[in-house]
Amino acid sequence: MLRKRHPPAGSKPGTLVIHESSQAPVIRIMKYNPNHLEEREDVKVSELTGLLESNMTCWIDVQGLGDEGMLRDIAAQFELHPLALEAVVNVPQRPKVETYDKHTLCITRMVMPNDIGMRPEQVSIFVGENYVLTFQERSGDVFDPIRKRIRNKGPIIMKEGPSYLSYALLDAIIDGYYPLLEKFGENLEALENRIVEEPTPDVLHEIHGIRRDLLTIRRSIWPQREAVNTLIRDENPMISETVRMYLRDCYDHCVQLMDGVETYRELSGGLMDVYLSSVGHRQNEVMKVLTVMASIFIPLTFLAGIYGMNFENMPELRARWAYPFLLAVMVVIAVGMIVFFRRKGWLGGTVGDSMSEQQRRRDP
Amino acid sequence: MLRKRHPPAGSKPGTLVIHESSQAPVIRIMKYNPNHLEEREDVKVSELTGLLESNMTCWIDVQGLGDEGMLRDIAAQFELHPLALEAVVNVPQRPKVETYDKHTLCITRMVMPNDIGMRPEQVSIFVGENYVLTFQERSGDVFDPIRKRIRNKGPIIMKEGPSYLSYALLDAIIDGYYPLLEKFGENLEALENRIVEEPTPDVLHEIHGIRRDLLTIRRSIWPQREAVNTLIRDENPMISETVRMYLRDCYDHCVQLMDGVETYRELSGGLMDVYLSSVGHRQNEVMKVLTVMASIFIPLTFLAGIYGMNFENMPELRARWAYPFLLAVMVVIAVGMIVFFRRKGWLGGTVGDSMSEQQRRRDP
Amino acid sequence: MLRKRHPPAGSKPGTLVIHESSQAPVIRIMKYNPNHLEEREDVKVSELTGLLESNMTCWIDVQGLGDEGMLRDIAAQFELHPLALEAVVNVPQRPKVETYDKHTLCITRMVMPNDIGMRPEQVSIFVGENYVLTFQERSGDVFDPIRKRIRNKGPIIMKEGPSYLSYALLDAIIDGYYPLLEKFGENLEALENRIVEEPTPDVLHEIHGIRRDLLTIRRSIWPQREAVNTLIRDENPMISETVRMYLRDCYDHCVQLMDGVETYRELSGGLMDVYLSSVGHRQNEVMKVLTVMASIFIPLTFLAGIYGMNFENMPELRARWAYPFLLAVMVVIAVGMIVFFRRKGWLGGTVGDSMSEQQRRRDP
Amino acid sequence: MLRKRHPPAGSKPGTLVIHESSQAPVIRIMKYNPNHLEEREDVKVSELTGLLESNMTCWIDVQGLGDEGMLRDIAAQFELHPLALEAVVNVPQRPKVETYDKHTLCITRMVMPNDIGMRPEQVSIFVGENYVLTFQERSGDVFDPIRKRIRNKGPIIMKEGPSYLSYALLDAIIDGYYPLLEKFGENLEALENRIVEEPTPDVLHEIHGIRRDLLTIRRSIWPQREAVNTLIRDENPMISETVRMYLRDCYDHCVQLMDGVETYRELSGGLMDVYLSSVGHRQNEVMKVLTVMASIFIPLTFLAGIYGMNFENMPELRARWAYPFLLAVMVVIAVGMIVFFRRKGWLGGTVGDSMSEQQRRRDP
Amino acid sequence: MLRKRHPPAGSKPGTLVIHESSQAPVIRIMKYNPNHLEEREDVKVSELTGLLESNMTCWIDVQGLGDEGMLRDIAAQFELHPLALEAVVNVPQRPKVETYDKHTLCITRMVMPNDIGMRPEQVSIFVGENYVLTFQERSGDVFDPIRKRIRNKGPIIMKEGPSYLSYALLDAIIDGYYPLLEKFGENLEALENRIVEEPTPDVLHEIHGIRRDLLTIRRSIWPQREAVNTLIRDENPMISETVRMYLRDCYDHCVQLMDGVETYRELSGGLMDVYLSSVGHRQNEVMKVLTVMASIFIPLTFLAGIYGMNFENMPELRARWAYPFLLAVMVVIAVGMIVFFRRKGWLGGTVGDSMSEQQRRRDP
């Protein structure tokens, strides 16, 4: 959860922590203007020289954080501040916007649509005058539609430069949370049905899991919302006025996602109450069966015990109609008990009724 | 709940998502000034040209969002921003106010008085210099009284133009929540009575359902309140000073509705506690019956078992008064038990008493 | 709870809703300056003309809201805004302060000292240059001490005019909440005692009722506090500097009342926990009795059952000391069980001890 | 809790409510400058004349609020505002700072170190140009160390005048809360131990009591914190720059106390959960014993019952080894049951083990 | 928890409380500039003279607070305010920043990586023009990496002087919380597993302990965050512009830690629910076994009891096939019961199934 790759306390700021399992960085470049498009994969760091002077918009996408030397070389090329590079490499950082002299850094957290286990990936976006530089933890992202729009020479994306490109990336990341949240909604609905049918304790475990995942999502979206707001409000030279309007839309999406997360959190809390009450009700039903059985048969068994005694002087034993009479008395007692419990509403029949009644109420 | 019709992540902003089940748009126009009223249904898009230059107040009401081409044509007529059109079509959006150069967009959420299942409908209101343009998801709305007031040439509505008309629509939408909230109040009262009489688990399901619906309403009203506040505070040229005063009244209604929602949420939480406690009390009652029955008869059965044994040397068996004496002992034991339980207050009689006492306390 | 007398959604603003059961309005006037006092009851609307030009302070008190024509006539006399009149008649409104050109409207909620069922009554106070105009829902109010102070020509009330009079009314309304809150305190104390003695489920019902009433009070006082604050802060020409200082005192009372309400809410929540735990403890006691009885006698009954069997070859049956020996074994088993349960602390004696010990702890 | 001595609603502001049980006021004066010290007890009101003109620092300490005339005389001497006097006498008021022309009033709440039952006493401190005037409800306070420092002619207290003296009083009052809070901490620790050993319901009562007392303390400290903050921030001519720095220290103490109160509140809430769970665990243990006993012996008793039947044609009864064989079967059943319950972990032995294991875990 | 070493209420401000068990102070000095490094341990107070005039950066580190005279001597050397010295000695204080004329005091709380029992230690950092003066409660700290960086003449630490050194200390203290928080995460995961396997009540005790420790950490980090923010925002001459940027990084760490603490608090709350529900489920299982056993055998025992009676006139007893027929009836009843309970899902088999099903669900 908090397993931040952080250097030991007291280290020099800017110390990078490279995890052994990290993927080696792979660089992809898209360079375009309304007339021209150049796309290259597996670029070497040395080939990056001169990009800053190009009059085309460049998107340098670095996937993988596993090679300190290479990362430092890239940082040198783009004159990244040591603390900025630290924030890129020592993931996860809290989403935020940091403004430097020559570029703005936007730390975000991306979820993949098929994300099981909820380990969001950090995407760091640097926006410079004529470039966007992104760092991802692993290959695989939600940016393919944007690459397609660039290849198709979408009119706005061509015209508005790095400022719009960074918005498009941010927007794609945030929109990527919608399918995830919808899945939570479906899970909660499914759980609600299961609670009615068979309230086993693993239901609670699943609710607990959903709540934990919602916490994680909230911790991703909430600061992202703040970060977008910072981009909108602050007089950031990297963000054009047109893009600012699009960011407002992006901000609204964040707020809507937060709304959804909060709603699901409250719903899951409510489900927990419903679950606990269902369990309690079932326990009550078990108790009623036990009580009814015991209350009917214990007195009867006692009566049978009486006449099983071996006293010599028990005149009833010899009476002709004593046995059938006793049987009749037992039937009367049993029926009386059943009537008593029926009036209390403890008998299975009533339970069945109330269950079907419940069905009727829910599906009118 | 969150099923927003949103385009896949990374799409171009302004991409519209038309659901197949959406109703085809139908356009109605009301055009009026104090002297004149013109009302037309099923208007074609091409007939909208020239409306912007009219010196009458026009209300163009579009019901249904099922035809992308037609919506884009309307947007072109009124020069709507692509993001504004996206907000209109990709429902539901969070209620908000957006100011553009030539018009103000107000996204609201409307509930129908007979709304079962709580799926509010989005109404988007554009206020321009001489027109109000509304988009609804489906036909059917709460605006009939306003149409009537226009037909009756109500003095204020005639005089104050689009600014007042948009207020009237907003006010009708917000007032539409009152009957809904009243229904919640009645449901909660009914539930409280049912909890006393028969606390079945479907009561909890219903409370859970009410809480979910209240959450939905809160998520509708809260941002609506903010939106109205924005209209009041910001120096919006589309809103006249007179209308601003009416909006303050509208704002008060939002606050009052929020108050109501919060109150009902707290009450429903309290009901849940009362329910759980009632269930616990009933379980306790079941336990007491079981305990009383078992405690009285188990020792007696044991005694009977003793004298049912077949030992040869059991002198009591032959004693003349042994049997009646044993019966007497058994009666003494049973009575002693009953007295013990009565003093503990576990016997049915006491329960009945405390129930009636409870009635007395509640209905003095 | 929220049963606002509101007109159907979409109605013209300013539409009044007169409930049939409303009382017909009765007008009382007190007109005074340091030298003169004139008091009249059952005044006709036509007699109000000229009051505005009087150089005396006038208090026009309208009790009852049951006659639309009469209310509109009064509104015309004092040039009340249609929305102001709507707020007066369509009760309940949220307490608030609204400033108009010629007067300030202060909506408040009054409770009567002997208020059962917690239906506060709305009092609307208009403060003009030389008059105070109040509207009440019903006859009967907390203003008698103020009327007496006017009749006694109290020095401040004579000198400071309508501004001070409106403060005095407001202060009386707010001070009227103290006895109510004290009653809640007493009820909670009484409940705490009852929970110890006999935790019946109606205790929870009463706690639920108290919480609901506290919610209602909070919803009355909280906005009243804001309203008083508005009067203090805003540069309101109707409120003199001297009166502003008195209002600060009034504001402190509101804060203190809110404090009290919140405290009682937390205490009642705590009581609910104590109640639930008491019930659980009693259930545990029932269980222990059952377990002790069953655990002692079930094995003994089994033993008796063994020697009640009719096998031909059961040598023990013929042994001379078998019967007394078995009885001895049974006694040993029973005593062993009792010792075991006593050491576990499950026996009635210990329960009684712990109860008395509990008493001792509480009353040292 | 809220039993404010307040006059009936509608009374003239400034009305004093003297409780019969109030102590008659006793006046003590300390008058000092670096060279001189004069201390007098039981001073008469008339002797106060001229104090305001003295060039020494005067501390007039009034203990007891039981004589309206005397209090009004003192108020006249120091030109106290009627509302200020009301705040002094009609205790308890919310702690606050009020600034008047010639003095500043600081209402505070003092607890005595040995305060049982948590009835804090109101101390009202007026700071004028050359005097400090304090009113206490009862004799007995936490100011003795300050009196001693004056008698010892402590350098700062001599030099800084009334401004520093009022700080010293305030600081003593706030520091007086520390021992109280420490006692709460000890009580909570003691309770935690008792919950493990014997979770009786009076534990919950004590937790409830602690929570109530913490609420009371919070309601005392929270506004006191605000009051101190007001003294620091506002440009109050009665507070010198040097003293302002000391007040910052005093403010930090308030914040630390609030921290402590909140921590204890959360801890007590957690203890309640632990208690409820301990009770549930014990109940479970009772249930297990019952189930084990019943499940073992009920089937055996049934078997014995079978062979206690009197059918003529029961061949087993005559078999030579039937009885020992049946006994063997019974042993097998009993052992099977015991193995089954042992594997489920329901047997007493395991419970004892888990208890001791728990001990081991806690005390490593 | 709150055991502040505070002087008795009413003491002179600046009174120091020296605990007997406190360690005697030991002074270490590091004096350096880019060219020079001087390091001395066990320095005497008298040797500190002249340090203030040195043109090197000095770090004076005082470990131990057990000697009032020595502490006062140091305070005199550096002209510390009496209240500042009080804050240093009377630990624990709330973390805060206080600005004095010649230095800034930063009170922080340090945890050691292997901190069992959660007793954080207060570190007070004074930053002057050419020195940093730190006070620690005990020897042993997290500063060794910083000492190493000084000895290695790290370029930034050499260049930026006391301002950077104080940042480095602060950063080391805050980073020291990460390992602690990670340990909490591991403990919570371990607890979650144990809850599934064996929900004993000591699990709840451990959760309670974790929550208490998280409270303590929160109370440490929250004000530390504020303190860092104060350093960043206020125009503090002791903090250079370069260092301000590093402090922003430090601030982000505080926020991230708070995020982690809050997440763990919510998770532990959720675990408590899961625990309680597991216990409830187990209790239910116990109940079901009891009910099934009792419900099957009690009726059968009753039947056996009937034919164990000694009536003379019981014709069934003599019927040839009566005994086998009765046995068959008993089997039918037993099988019927088992089918009934199986359909209700109460039988052990189903429980086992649902357990394994649960396993399957969790590990797909």
DSSP string covering E158-207:
HHHHHHHHHHHHHHHHHHTHHHHHHHHHHHHHHHHHHHHH---HHHHHHH
**CB pair distance less than 8 Å for C1 and B263:** yes
Location of structure tokens 């396997």: E197
D182 has a chain E CB within 8 A of its CB: yes
Q: Could you tell me the pTM of the whole model?
A: 0.83
Contact E34, E158 (CB under 8 A): yes
Contact A174, A254 (CB under 8 A): yes
- Radius of gyration (Cα) for chain A, nearest Å? 35
Contact D151, D187 (CB under 8 A): no
Task: Return d(Cα B257, Cα B263) in angstroms, integer.
Answer: 10
Q: How many CB atoms lie within 10 A of CB D53?
A: 7
**Angle, vertex CA B215, rays to CA B212 and CA B219, nearest 5:** 145
Residue ranges of domains in chain C, CATH in brackets:
1-142 (3.30.460.20), 288-355 (1.20.58.340)
Contact E207, E268 (CB under 8 A): yes
pLDDT of E303 over the 50 cut: yes
Contacts of A246 in chain B (CB under 8 A): 13, 83
Q: Residue B14 pairs with which residues in a beta bridge?
A: none
What is the pLDDT, as a whole number, of residue E358? Answer: 42
Give how far A350 is from chain B: nearest CA, Å.
11
Give how far C355 is from chain D: nearest CA, Å.
9
Q: How many CA atoms lie within 13 A of A1 on its CB side?
A: 30
Supply B127's token pair. Answer: 């206020």
What is the pLDDT, as a whole number, of residue E117? Answer: 63
What is the pLDDT, as a whole number, of residue A357? Answer: 41
Cβ neighbours for A197, distance < 8 A, ≥ 6 positions apart: none
DSSP state of A143: -
Beta strands in chain E (DSSP E): 26-33, 36-40, 57-63, 96-99, 104-110, 121-127, 131-136
Contacts of A168 in chain B (CB under 8 A): 10
Contact E263, A215 (CB under 8 A): yes
Q: Residue C106 pairs with which residues in a beta bridge?
A: C97, C125
What is the pLDDT, as a whole number, of residue D281? Answer: 81
Contacts of C193 in chain D (CB under 8 A): none
What is the pLDDT, as a whole number, of residue D357? Answer: 41
Give the rounded percent of residues in chain D with a pLDDT score beyond 90.
Answer: 48
Contacts of B317 in chain A (CB under 8 A): 310-312
Interface A–B counts its CB contacts (< 8 A) at 179
Give how far A249 is from chain B: nearest CA, Å.
8
**CB pair distance less than 8 Å for D178 and E2:** yes
B286 has a chain C CB within 8 A of its CB: no
Q: How many CB atoms lie within 10 A of CB E297?
A: 26
Q: Residue A62 pairs with which residues in a beta bridge?
A: A27, A135
A190 has a chain E CB within 8 A of its CB: no
What is the pLDDT, as a whole number, of residue C248? Answer: 92
Q: How confident is the model at residue E115 (pLDDT cuts 50, 70, 90)?
A: low
Cβ neighbours for D324, distance < 8 A, ≥ 6 positions apart: none
Which C residues in the span 3-42 are in contact with B, Cβ-Cβ below 8 Å?
3-4, 6-13
Peptide bond into E92 cis (omega under 30): yes
pLDDT in tens, D215-232: 989 989 999 999 999 999
What is the pLDDT, as a whole number, of residue A348? Answer: 53
Average model confidence (pLDDT) for chain D? 87
Which D residues in the span 111-130 are in contact with C, Cβ-Cβ below 8 Å?
none
The candidate with the shortest Cα–Cα distance to B283, out of A171, A139, A287, is A287
Supply E352's token pair. Answer: 């086992």
> What is the SS3 assignment for B99?
strand
* Minimum CA–CA partner of E215 in chain D: D263
DSSP state of D297: H
ipTM above 0.85, yes or no: no
**CB pair distance less than 8 Å for E317 and D312:** yes
Phi, psi of A238 (to 5 degrees): -75, -15
H/E stretch holding A108: strand A104-110
Q: What parts of chain C have a pLDDT lower than 70?
A: 1-5, 113-118, 348-364
List per-block mean pLDDT (blocks of 10 residues) for chain B, which spans 364 residues: 67 86 92 91 90 89 94 94 92 91 93 72 94 93 93 89 94 91 88 80 84 90 94 86 90 92 90 83 85 92 92 88 93 93 72 41 42
Lowest pLDDT segment from B291-295, D301-305, D342-346: D342-346
Distance from chain centroid for Cα A290: 42
| Best residue of D173, D271, D277 to probe chain E, by most E CBs closer than 10 Å | D277
What is the pLDDT, as a whole number, of residue A352? Answer: 39
* Minimum CA–CA partner of B208 in chain A: A270
Cβ neighbours for B91, distance < 8 A, ≥ 6 positions apart: B4, B5, B65, B122, B137
C68 has a chain D CB within 8 A of its CB: no
pLDDT in tens, D125-168: 999 999 999 999 988 899 999 999 999 998 889 888 899 999 99
D273 has a chain C CB within 8 A of its CB: no
**CB pair distance less than 8 Å for A299 and B293:** yes
> What is the SS3 assignment for B3?
coil
Which B residues in the span 303-362 are in contact with C, Cβ-Cβ below 8 Å?
305-306, 308-314, 345-346, 354, 357-358, 361-362
C290 has a chain B CB within 8 A of its CB: yes
**CB pair distance less than 8 Å for E318 and D305:** no
Contact B210, B264 (CB under 8 A): yes
pLDDT of D67 over the 80 cut: yes
List per-block mean pLDDT (blocks of 10 residues) for chain A, which spans 364 residues: 66 86 92 91 90 89 94 94 92 91 93 72 94 93 93 89 94 91 88 80 85 90 94 86 90 92 90 83 85 91 92 88 93 93 71 41 42
**CB pair distance less than 8 Å for C300 and B302:** yes
The candidate with the shortest Cα–Cα distance to E117, out of A153, C78, B288, D362, is D362
Q: How many CA atoms lie within 13 A of A74 on its CB side?
A: 26
Average pLDDT over residues D303-308: 92
| Best residue of C290, C327, C333 to probe chain B, by most B CBs closer than 10 Å | C290
DSSP state of B148: H
**CB pair distance less than 8 Å for E274 and A83:** no
- Say what the alpha-carbon torsion angle E68, E73, E78, E83 is, to the nearest 10 degrees: 30
Task: Return d(Cα A233, Cα A236) in angstroms, integer.
Answer: 8
- Radius of gyration (Cα) for chain C, nearest Å? 35
Task: Return d(Cα D320, Cα B302) in angstroms, integer.
Answer: 28
pLDDT of E200 over the 80 cut: no
Supply B325's token pair. Answer: 């004496």
Contacts of D289 in chain C (CB under 8 A): 291, 295
Task: Return d(Cα A89, Cα A86) in angstroms, integer.
Answer: 5
**Full 3-state SS string of A303-325:** HHHHCCCCCCCCHHHHCCCHHHH
- Radius of gyration (Cα) for chain B, nearest Å? 35
> What is the SS3 assignment for D201?
helix
**CB pair distance less than 8 Å for D6 and C168:** no
Q: In what order do the strands lie in the sheet with C96-99?
A: C36-40, C26-33, C57-63, C131-136, C121-127, C104-110, C96-99
**CB pair distance less than 8 Å for A13 and E313:** no
What is the pLDDT, as a whole number, of residue B114? Answer: 65
The candidate with the shortest Cα–Cα distance to B106, out of B170, B63, B163, is B170
* Minimum CA–CA partner of E147 in chain A: A10
Q: How confident is the model at residue D31 (pLDDT cuts 50, 70, 90)?
A: very high
* Minimum CA–CA partner of E11 in chain D: D145
Largest CA distance in chain D: 121
Cβ neighbours for A285, distance < 8 A, ≥ 6 positions apart: A351
C283 has a chain B CB within 8 A of its CB: yes
Contacts of C305 in chain D (CB under 8 A): 300-301, 304-305, 308
Per 3-state DSSP, what percentage of chain D is helix, strand, and coil (rounded to 5)?
60, 10, 30
Sign of the CA dihedral running B145, B150, B151, B152: positive
Contact B248, B166 (CB under 8 A): no
- Report long-range pairs for E182-185 (Cβ below 8 Å, ≥24 apart): E182/A2, E182/A3, E184/E210, E184/E213, E184/E214, E184/E264, E185/A1, E185/A2, E185/A3, E185/E260, E185/E264
Q: How confident is the model at residue D11 (pLDDT cuts 50, 70, 90)?
A: confident
Q: Is A171 left (phi over 0), alpha (psi -120 to 50) or beta?
A: alpha
Total residues belonging to chain E? 364
Task: Return d(Cα D323, Cα D329) in angstroms, integer.
Answer: 10
